[in-house]
Chains A and B, each alone.
Chain A
Amino acid sequence: MNNMKRSIRRIFWLLVLCFFLLLGYIGKLVLVDRTTISTNSYNTRLRYVDHTIRRGDIVDIDGEVLATSVLQGDGTYAREYPRARMAAHITGYSSVGKTGVEAAENFQLLTLHNEFLQRIAAITTGKELVGNSVVVTVDMDIQTTAGNLLGNAKGAIVVMEPSTGRVLALQAYPDFDPNTVAANWETLKEDEKSPLVNRATQGLYPPGSTFKLISALAVMENAPNWQTRTYECTGEAEFENKVIHCYNNKAHGTVDLKQALTVSCNCYFAQTATELGAAKLKQIMERAGMEMPAGFDLAYSRNKIGLEAGSTESELVETAIGQGKTAVTPLYMAMLASAIANEGIMMEPYIVDHIQYSSGEAGKQTVPKKLTEIRTAEEAAVLRDMMVSVVENGTGSAAGVKGVTVAGKTGTAENATGKDHSWFVGFAPAEDPKIAVAVVIENSNAYGSATPIAGKVIQEALNQIENR
């Protein structure tokens, strides 16, 4: 019966192997995949509340406090936001539910570092239990400048570091005062201007002419002779059943790609798009990361691509000039500008720099992560030069900063509900990009009103970075 014994032994080892697979996999789950899995926003455990713990602070990169907890007379903690509206869309609120960093880092804010020691100290000396603090990448000086420039205009400003994806400033208006969210909840919730919506990450706008950056990439990729080919712009062009006009029906004359981008010639891009076809353009849009989840810490909307392989010609030409059904978030446009500045590599945006333990030690640091490569470094460089030309000789001159080469692209997005939205996306200094910006102003009166704001934001941000 040795055969039977041998079989039994083999089955035994087979099953032991199965159990070892379990052990190995569970080890991998908790040692390797832990952060990726547990920080998913669907994890209800991240939203737990513990009123006996003093919630950690949220501070900016220079240590300025954006949110803190204060012990009240009755032994409970009140959450205070010293910068109130100025950082509202970053901190979010923690009262009637949670948003912003308060929601994203709830778990960290309530995690006790060295819990054991803290608990013993709490019992023996009555010291408070203090959660970890969250240090955000935002620089409140740039954030304040952006906030003041935006003023009471509906819209958003995003400032980003191109090489890492760090968000340096993130403003959106209308905003709210996180200190009084609970008290004003009913009015805030009903408010037609939806102040609780973070337009910088959740607002979806037609990109207008800023989309031509992607159209230009499509031309470079698919038309080998793009450097020599020219187009005769008469101010309007007819397609299928759609007439495309250049702004103010201005005839730009003979334009090549660089010219067309500089003067933002609609007819050129509409015409080249029909030659490429919808499938090719859509492919470039996908490669530019438009459909990718940005993996951002704060709540954000996904862009909408309003183009299919079988779209009609009118849909195609509209998309190519940034009209039509395609819609993007200001966050994405800042990512796109950053990618062009960063040799074609799009980084994952992030706003939490690191965790700081209550003892003052620095904890887990966010490591910049590559999201995707939108184009090669060479093509990104060509596009960058064209964007410099936009600011130096074209529609973006108002974004110019003295002594700095700014690269950018303006946009005016028609919209059904009222006056056009004004866009500017760009980065500076062009030769060694330190910052990228995206500015959108809703229903702006003046043509290109986003452009001068962007210029001032760039100037201030560069100053701040230099003074560091």
Chain B
Amino acid sequence: MKKLKMILPKLIMFLMSIMFIAPIWMVAVNSIKSKAEANLLGMAFPKDGIIHLINYFKVIEQGGILRSFMNGLIESTFSVVIIVLAASSCAYILARRKGKIYNIIFYTFIMGLIIPVAFIPTYLVLNKLNLVNTYAGLIFIFTTYGLPSAIFLYTGFVKTIPRELDEAALLDGCNCFRAFFSIILPLLKPVTVTISILSFIGAWNDTQIPLFFASGDHWALPLSVYNFYGAHEKSWNLVFADVIIIILPLVIIYMIGQKYIVSGMTAGAVKG
């Protein structure tokens, strides 16, 4: 009886983990089958014993993978750089200075976490600035919606860094900018890694912003699967190969940065 009590939760969890893995497995195994067999959506290895790697070559050839990959890389990387620099320096002042106005600024940023993107007026602003369907336009919007959580995390973190460091820098003749960039910013490294990963994934995975403000030639990988599916609806082998190529970069980021991702997502969830 006692043994059963020990094993039962483990068994339940094991079965549950299969529920999470099965879909991914189904995608992976069907991506290396022939078209006819893949369309049966089975879970077994290819019956003909051949690994149809040709699916992947076909997808790379037809799917515009490289273009979408570069789009995502450009948009996400630039957004991350701007978010990190703008948010950390802003949070430094917000964390250090006291006064009503700083509270108002902080909470205005936090509102960006709740309020959905005002698509139509944002479209008007981009239109007036000639930024519709440009990398710069997308980068600015990704940055805007990445700033709130970054400022939230940075402000909390800066508060844990003693003010004495600022004072020492002042005595050494540093101004605020130098003190921040040569002393404080390096100390923010753990939270910077977290914010970089989360903002990168956020921009990379976003569906609505590219859909509203750009056309297909500026989309990153995840959204390109939608067009690819539309064109190859009857060839699951190719669609799944496309899916695998698309999720692979994220799985790699996840495996490397798991610790940072989790620490960023749980900040504020527990009493610190």
> Are both chains from one complex?
no
A residues with a Cβ closer than 8 A to B are: none
